[in-house]
Amino acid sequence: MSISTVIVDDEPLARKRVRLLLDKEDDVELIAECASGEEALSILEEQSIDLLFLDVQMPGIDGFEVLQRIPEEQLPVVIFTTAYDQHALRAFESHALDYLLKPFKTARFSQAMQRARQRLKERDSNQSVHRLVAMLAEQDTRPPGSTKKYLTRLTVKHQDKVLLVQVADVTSFESAGNYVVAAEGDNNHLLRETLTALEKQLDPEQFFRVSRSAIVNLDCVHRIETMFKGEHAVVLKSGKRLTMTRGLREMEKALKP
């Protein structure tokens, strides 16, 4: 996952310092450098970003006002940068993740980046859980007889036979290299297909991809458990536990044709 990032600071040298440090981070995509709050808001109106390095004191619109003008649902992870430590308390009251006091050292910058990565991971995980819970709640209200064409049967080779397996009876699909293991009750069926290719053939209202290596049947989900560091586990009615690591953005990319 690349972290889309914007730097906002009216001092060119300060922007350069952050940019050079970001150049050492392999997972960062620098979207823009802004010299004012107005310029930053213009960028943020056009696209959503993951991470914002934001100076506190700037001519015109300062850093705090920039945050006040961003809709809450579009707020990125924010790291304030400033030469004045008296703004620290207000920065955290404004829901900033971190506060870098200029001139900051490389180690302190790296620490802030690690915190940003963890916050983004937790945010994506929570978004996925909320969507999964919403989808589970909608199962009973889905219009019957949906006519969209999705995969309904699997043909599985077993010794010298070919078995027909109802997709609705499969509780989970798990990746096994270039194959997929389909769990049906006590039986595991090996499919000569990748998980991503299979996902595109499944009804997204019934099957949910919880990680890079697993898809679950929503009708078979028993509960969702919170684990350490904001991660979650999906527990099926069969008792099988699958770690949920797939973020919302990664899931949406996988669903794109």
Task: Give the pLDDT confidence of 206-242 residue by residue, as tens digits.
Answer: 899 888 899 999 889 888 887 777 678 888 999 999 9
- Please name the residues in contact with 62: beta carbons below 8 A apart, sequence gap of 6 or more: 37, 56
* CATH number for domain 3-104, candidates 2.30.30.100, 3.30.365.10, 3.30.310.80, 3.40.50.2300: 3.40.50.2300
- Please name the residues in contact with 69: beta carbons below 8 A apart, sequence gap of 6 or more: 41, 61
What are the residue ranges spanned by the domains of the chain?
3-104, 128-140+147-255
Encoded amino acid at 60, one letter: G
- pLDDT at residue 145, rounded to an integer: 55
The residue-averaged pLDDT of 169-196 equals 91
Among 29-33, 126-130, 178-182, 249-253, the range of highest mean pLDDT: 29-33
Domain 128-140+147-255: CATH class, spelled out = mainly beta
- pLDDT per position as a tens digit, 46-69: 888 999 999 988 888 988 889 888
Q: Which token pair is 107?
A: 């180690």
State how far the Cα of 100 lies from the Cα of 61, in Å rounded to an integer: 20
Among 135, 118, 138, 143, CA closest to 210: 135
